[in-house]
Structure 1
Amino acid sequence: MEILDPQNTVLTNAEVYNIVVEKKKAFSSAPKDHRASPALRTVIYETLTYLSGSPAATQTEEQIKSLIRALSPYKFTGAEILQLINLRPKTAVEVQLVIEECEERLTEEQVNEIVEIVKQNFPIQSETKNSLEAAEG
């Protein structure tokens, strides 16, 4: 994914993860006098540690686009879609916590449909990690 204007956009956790991984590689291969400061290295390390344990580490651009397309009939706000991508809700309660005025906007069936849409577009994290480890090994 390409960031068009970094000052005026929100990013998914997956996009942040990919950017931080790229920056870490760039800093690692840079000459010693152009490497990141200790404070920046700490931020990079902590960010990667957090995001590596989250769904962001396994989400692909195709999965995100597919989820956005599948959710388009529901007329969610950009912030709600971003939260659905980042949090990957697995239960109806988790969806209700993310969607503002969920009880008025969605039926119980629709909430359950959203849970299924998320599950279809984003495989369960542990299964994805196992398949990634098998592919690398």
Structure 2
Amino acid sequence: MKILEAQNAILTNYEVYSHLTEQRERYAQNKHRGPPNLETVVREILQYFHTPPGPLSHGTITYTPECIAELIERLRPYDLTKAEVVMLFNHRPQTVATLNTIIEDLEDRVSPEDQEVLIQIIIDVLGRPPPAQEQGADDTPMENGGS
């Protein structure tokens, strides 16, 4: 077999998640089991998506297929690469510091005001993470002063 077009499309985590859950449902409706290796890979990928701190790890998934198109359209004026847009969708950054880890040469390419606008676009389209995800580090036992 010869690969004609390598990386013809880049998928977001949400698109992969949707495809795998639909495939799993199709197998269940037809009362067929997939190949054991495929079932293992699908189970492990879905388990990864449900592991915090990922945006898909919340109880309910708030993303829709329309979110992807809307995010792409609203980010178009900022001349971001396809990979950067996918990472923004996958990671849903909430601060400029996090945004800086995703977009290469952020300070040179995007003004400080536009950096805040980018964060606001992401929040508007994808929403904020639930409060439980933001707390995480507050549960450390070090506050009691004991070891």
TM-score range, shorter chain: 0.7 to 0.9
Q: How does 1:1-137 map to 2 (within 5 A)?
A: 8-32=8-32, 35-53=33-51, 54-56=54-56, 57-126=61-130
Partners of 1:120 and 1:7 in 2: how far apart? 29
Q: Which structure is higher in helix share?
A: 1
Under a length normalisation based on structure 2, what TM-score does the superposition of the two structures give?
Answer: 0.73
Where structure 2 has 5 or more consecutive residues not aligned to the other structure, the ranges are: 132-147
Show structure 1 runs of 4+ deviating over 3 A.
none
Q: Alpha-carbon deviation of 1:61?
A: 1.3
- How many residues in Structure 1 have an aligned counterpart in Structure 2? 121
Kept in 1: contact 2:96–2:119 (CA 8 A): yes
State percent identity of aligned pairs: 34
Q: Alpha-carbon deviation of 1:91?
A: 0.5
Name the aligned partner's letter for residue 20 of structure 1: L
Name the aligned partner's letter for residue 18 of structure 1: S
Where structure 1 has 5 or more consecutive residues not aligned to the other structure, the ranges are: 128-137
Kept in 2: contact 1:55–1:87 (CA 8 A): yes
Partners of 2:6 and 2:104 in 1: how far apart? 27
Q: Alpha-carbon deviation of 1:46?
A: 1.3
Larger Rg: 2
| Farther off after superposition, 23-32 or 116-125 | 23-32
CA-atom RMSD, angstroms? 2.1
Name the aligned partner's letter for residue 11 of structure 1: L
Distance 1:79 1:7, change over 3 A: closer
Kept in 2: contact 1:58–1:125 (CA 8 A): no
Deviation sequence 1:10-60 (CA, Å, 0-9, x none): 11111101100011112223344xx21222111111111222343244311
Under a length normalisation based on structure 1, what TM-score does the superposition of the two structures give?
Answer: 0.78
